[in-house]
Amino acid sequence: MQFFPYSFLLSSFILLTSCGSNGVGIVKSPDDKLTANEDSVDLTSRALAVRNMTSEQIFLRLPQEVIKLEGFEKMTLKHRKELLQKGSLGDLRAEIKNHYLSVRENFENEDDDNERAAILEMTIFQHSEEDYILVYVLQKYSSEDKLLGDELLSQGFWKYDGKEWTVETAAIPTITTAMFFDKGFNLSKVKEDFITWTPAAINDRTLTASLSYDKYAKFGLKPETLIKNETHIINIIWNGQLFEVQRKPQDLK
């Protein structure tokens, strides 16, 4: 990366949390470094501030400990502000759309199929009544070779109450591999679910679940077998207070 003088090697495969995780962690927010003038948040009411925070404001408060991508974890508050203001900084570019925010690294050499780029995606879910906001953070590496899938580094749901960040699992619906298939498809050997969440094209209050097909090889299921037999789309939709599960047939045109 031109902006960060660090080699682009994966330093850690720490999974922050997943839908089936039971771990809970608390991380302090760097709010003491942010003032009302700096991010235009009315701090006279914490509840009002948290409920109405934008994805940009949440990104500024995202703890350093949460960011695991090589080089990204060195982004200071000053760097984040400049990235959001300009839309790009060095090899990084930011995309903001309502409750969704992403930071992506540009590929340095367009002719290098072995190159990969870091991507951080963040979606916020504002609560309509309670004094907190849910934040989904996805971190992955994307290969310039389109035939190679993304390499997941970390995904997790967090609860932010204006002061602390807490790993959230209780509010996340349980989604199983079987929900993607008809009852007749044999999944008897599958003992673990490998599911990734991505922002849905439907709206910014929806996350779409997808299977990490290659992970099921240890259960004797090839990716092409799963793809051929997959019949349903699974979404979770935020209604302002909780996630509702939407399971619908794929549009097989």
Residues 114 and 151 in one domain: yes
Q: Is 196 a domain residue? A: yes
Domain hosting residue 204, numbered range: 177-249
The two three-digit tokens of residue 208, written as one number: 């779409």
pLDDT at 200: 76
Let me know whether 238 and 116 are in one domain.
Answer: no
Task: Domain count for the chain, please give it.
Answer: 2
Residue 7 lies in a domain: no
Q: CB of 116 within 8 A of CB of 34? A: no
Residue 10 domain flag: no
Give alpha helix (H) positions in 87-233: 223-229
Last residue of a domain, one of 146, 167, 188: 167
Q: Are residues 186 and 62 in the same domain?
A: no
State the CB neighbour count (10 A cutoff) for residue 130.
Answer: 14
Cα 33 to Cα 46: distance, rounded to the nearest angstrom? 16
Whether residue 108 sits in one domain with residue 228: no
Looking at the chain, the whole-number percentage of residues with pLDDT higher than 70 is 75
- The pLDDT of residue 9: 30
Q: Are residues 196 and 217 in the same domain?
A: yes
Positive or negative: CA dihedral 54, 66, 108, 141: negative
Q: How far apart are CA 25 and CA 3, in angstroms?
A: 30
If phi > 0 it is left, if psi is from -120 to 50 it is alpha, else beta; for residue 71 that is left
Side by side, the strands of the sheet bearing 232-238 are 195-199, 206-211, 232-238, 243-249
Per-residue model confidence (pLDDT) at position 10: 31
Domain end among 167, 196, 220? 167
Q: Are residues 217 and 157 in the same domain?
A: no
Judge if 112 and 146 occupy the same domain.
yes
The predicted structure's pLDDT at residue 8: 33
Last residue of a domain, one of 167, 199, 215: 167
Q: Indicate whether 131 and 31 sit together in one domain.
A: yes
Does residue 231 share a domain with residue 155? no
Is residue 172 in some structural domain?
Answer: no
pLDDT tens-place string over residues 175-200: 999 999 999 999 999 999 999 999 87
Question: What confidence tens digit (pLDDT) does each residue in 139-189 have?
Answer: 999 887 665 678 899 999 999 999 999 999 988 999 999 999 999 999 999
